[in-house]
Amino acid sequence: MNSTFMIAATGSGKGKTTFVTGLLNLLKDKSVHAFKCGPDYIDPMYHREILGIPSTNLDSYFCDDDLLKGVFNDNAGKINVIEAAMGLYDGIGATKRTCAYEIASKLNCPIILLIDGYGMGYSIVPLIKGFLQEDNNQLIKGLVINRISEKYYKKIAPVIENETGITVYGFIPKIKGAELKSRHLGLLSPIENNYSERVDLISNQIRETVRIEEVIEACKHNVDRNNETSNKKSRLLDGKVIGIAKDEAFSFYYEENIKFLRNEGAEIKFFSPIHDEHVPEDVDAIIFYGGYPENYPKEISDNKTMLNSIRVLPEKNVKIIAECGGFMYLLDFMKVQDDDYEMVSLIHGSSYRTKGLVRFGYVSITGNNYEAKGHEFHHYETKDVEYSSDYTVRNESSGDEYKGIICDGNILAGFPHLYYRNCPELIIDFIRGKYNE
């Protein structure tokens, strides 16, 4: 029997990723698949670290209802654990649009609400009541209370159940040594957090104090899984070989983008701008996704054979797609602290670190009769870069419009991260060379 549920919380930093990965570790021998709401790259790294298979993003901004269900169904296992983003009802700006609850509603997915009980007494009850009041589809099936002592849990759990009618499935006390460290783009990676050494601590605690089997039982047969697969069979990239940068500096990518390229017939060759001497041979296109190139500027800059092998690609009519950190890699220089590091120099300009977020949130991109949806989240900005005049980027939250895309015959680049399945024509036409016609 299949079981699907979302782990959500009242806000960011309430322990969702810690709880979900500990839970996945307990369930990894039971055909479990992990999903992450929204455009997050880092939390899925933790899911993949535990399960050994890619996690899948579910995003109701990138996907219409049919595509969202299709992405879920294409990847679902016997047990499916969906990690929410931010607070359950937090969407674009001060709205619920694209929030985790919207995704759960579209999938008819039950929700287990993780409540951070640290520093709270009876106030936890009206907090829960408020979240239940917003649950118009009655998807919240139970609670787990985080960061609370066993002694107080035994006092408050019966009160919660009596006053709200919701089941409390257990609690998690503060676990010494299980804290996850963060940086400007979110959590550190699993390797940087030494997570393989911590996850058993978390799993063992969950096994002792959370009734997981009851959660699985309560969440059976709830999700609509009758939607037909949304994968296209047209294979418009048959015969194309695409190199994709993938290493510690370039690690932010949507698994669905890779699947999309393969479903269209492309052969994928991964390579490392840090460790390899040159790009793969005989490629038709190269993709540089985002990541942390600013953490490895010397290693990237010192790999001159790699830089030189990329510089000649446009002369060979090889298409290059680059986003965020990959876009910064194609510039002349990257400034890290007070040092300028030489980059590829296919795009004139340089990048530098700002004091805060430059842009954040979902964006729509229009130009040349194409429409695409993406996401920006970066602390770096550029100078002396000339963006294409025929593409406009619009931030969905602020409404601000600006030029932020470079698109010519051989380079498609900018800060936005793209989700290919909502803009297949743009990606396919670019790789196939329509801009050269």
Mind telling me the catalytic residues?
A: 324
> What are the tokens at 290?
């985002």
Within a 10 A sphere around the Cβ of 239, how many other Cβ atoms? 9
- Cβ-contact 209, 170 below 8 angstroms: yes
Question: Residue ranges of the alpha helices (H) in 312-351?
Answer: 325-329
Angstrom distances, CA of residue 260 to CA of 151, 235, 365: 51, 10, 20
Give the Cα separation of 394 and 356 in Å (integer): 20
Q: What is the Cα–Cα distance from 364 to 371, expressed in whole angstroms? A: 7
Both structure tokens of 69: 């269900």
Backbone angles phi, psi at 263, to 5 degrees: -65, -25
Phi-psi region of 86 (alpha: psi -120 to 50; beta: other; left: phi over 0): left
Instruction: Please name the residue that has the structure tokens 């006053």.
Output: 163
Give 179's DSSP letter. Answer: -
Q: Which residues pair with 4 in a beta bridge?
A: 80
Q: Is the Cβ–Cβ distance between 33 and 56 less than 8 Å?
A: yes
CA distance 224 to 222: 7
d(CA 88, CA 41): 19
CA pseudo-torsion sign 386, 391, 397, 398: positive
Beta carbons of 385 and 333 less than 8 angstroms apart: no
Compute the distance between CA of residue 74 and CA of residue 119 in angstroms, rounded to an integer.
Answer: 42
With CA atoms as reference, report the closest residue to 110 among 169, 45, 154, 173.
169
DSSP string, 240-268: -EEEEE-SSSS-B--HHHHHHHHHTTPEE
Distance CA(270)–CA(243), nearest Å, equals: 6
φ and ψ of 76, to 5 deg:
-65, 145
